[in-house]
A = this chain, B = another copy of it.
Amino acid sequence: MAGAGTSGGRDSSPAGVLERCRELVRPALVDAVGRLHPWTGEMAAYALGWADTAGQPDPGGSEGKGVRQALAVLGAEAVGADGADAVPGAVAVELVHTFSLLHDDIMDADTLRRQRPAVWKAYGTGPAVLTGDALLAQAVASLAETQGRHTAAAVRLLCRTLNALVSGQAQDLRFEHRPWSGPGAVAPEQYRSMAEHKTGSLLGCAIALGAVLGGAPDRTVTALDRAGRHLGLAFQAVDDILGIWGDPAVTGKPVHADLRQGKKTYPVLAALAGDSRAARELGALLDSGRTDGGTAEHIAALVDEAGGRSATRDEARRHLETARRALGEAPLRHTAARELDALFTHLLDRTW
């Protein structure tokens, strides 16, 4: 049985799905950015990868894949609605995602984003703060202005997600002030809570918003939200592996980037939670505060030896399985559910 809104010629591959959703959402996204003050609109277009700093179309192709907008569209289709019903939600989650990258880069002092200077590096901190604010305001406004019976529920969901996102960023920033080991160290469960807020909540919101705007019952919305959250946790685990062992040519970050920055990520925390010789050496080394190039390589080896890499792989696999099971348990239209499932797997299909 074909799902709603599908046709015989539909390209159900993840790349095809992502492209179809980007094309469906783009006019409304362009319109929302076009309603900003021209200056913040220009910085927003840069942040979205649509233009370079001269306002010209960016041939570098640094536009994101549009994962969140696709999840919103598929969320609506999966509950039997037209993908177009999800467009206001898709616009909102893309704008919120762009806002959070913009402000997080300021807070984390990250200078590069998608191989280009971060907005605060390209335009200055003040203008980057303002552009993030403009995107956040426009995200909620564009959803709140949507005509329809489900708007109020959608706005409430988006607002809860915004609170969770900001809270996750606060948790993450506070981890910097915690010791690596001993009392006060970050437990893996605390890391998971941070990642669920910071990464999982917006992915869950994306699918759930599509379902809400598509008129789905609460139980289905909750199942889809849960699926997205676990997808986010799996995604974050893979990101953490790549932050240590990823190929700089692919990640766009220096080798061992997260270790050099002293970031408390899951592989390190999982390694430290063990009691092997490697775990103890790792703890002592981290407590010493040395994280230069040579030490970072040794730390990476110790994290691996103490089981941090394999524990993180298990964490990613477990959350991906939970996410797929949550999809399987909801009463969804076949085609969209299959596309969601394939997209989930595709998003984690990187070398880790």
Contacts and interface: CB of A to CB of B under 8 A. Distances in A.
Given A106-B125, A144-B155, A130 B160 contact: no
Interface in A107-122: 107-109
A165 B141 CA distance: 13
Contacts of A125: 106, 125
A335 interface: no
A226 interface: no
Contacts of A166: 37, 40, 130, 133-134, 137
A174 B39 contact: yes
Contacts of A132: 129, 133
Contact of A106 (B35, B37, B129, B162): B129
A276 interface: no
Interface string A80-99: 00000000000000000000
Nearest to A136: B136
Interface in A130-180: 130, 132-134, 136-138, 140-141, 144-145, 151-152, 155-156, 159-160, 162-163, 165-167, 169-171, 173-174
Given A125-B106, A152-B151, A155-B155, A163 B35 contact: yes
A136 B125 CA distance: 19
Contacts of A145: 156, 159
B159 A144 contact: yes
A109 B103 CA distance: 17
A108 B106 CA distance: 16
A127 interface: yes
A126 interface: yes
A127 B130 CA distance: 15
Nearest to A139: B159
Contacts of A167: 36-37, 40, 134
A261 B127 CA distance: 18
Interface string A15-58: 00000000000000000000111011000000000000000000
A156 B140 CA distance: 9
Most-contacted residue by chain B among A129, A151, A173 (CB, 10 A): A129
A245 B127 CA distance: 30
A212 B323 CA distance: 42
B170 A37 contact: yes
Given A145-B156, A159-B141, A170 B103 contact: no
Contacts of A36: 163, 167
22 contacts: A36-B163, A36-B167, A37-B166, A37-B170, A37-B171, A39-B174, A106-B125, A107-B130, A125-B125, A134-B166, A134-B167, A134-B170, A136-B136, A137-B159, A140-B159, A140-B162, A141-B160, A141-B162, A144-B155, A144-B156, A144-B159, A145-B156
Top 9 closest pairs, chain A to chain B, by CB = A107-B126, A141-B159, A137-B162, A37-B170, A37-B167, A134-B166, A144-B159, A133-B166, A144-B156
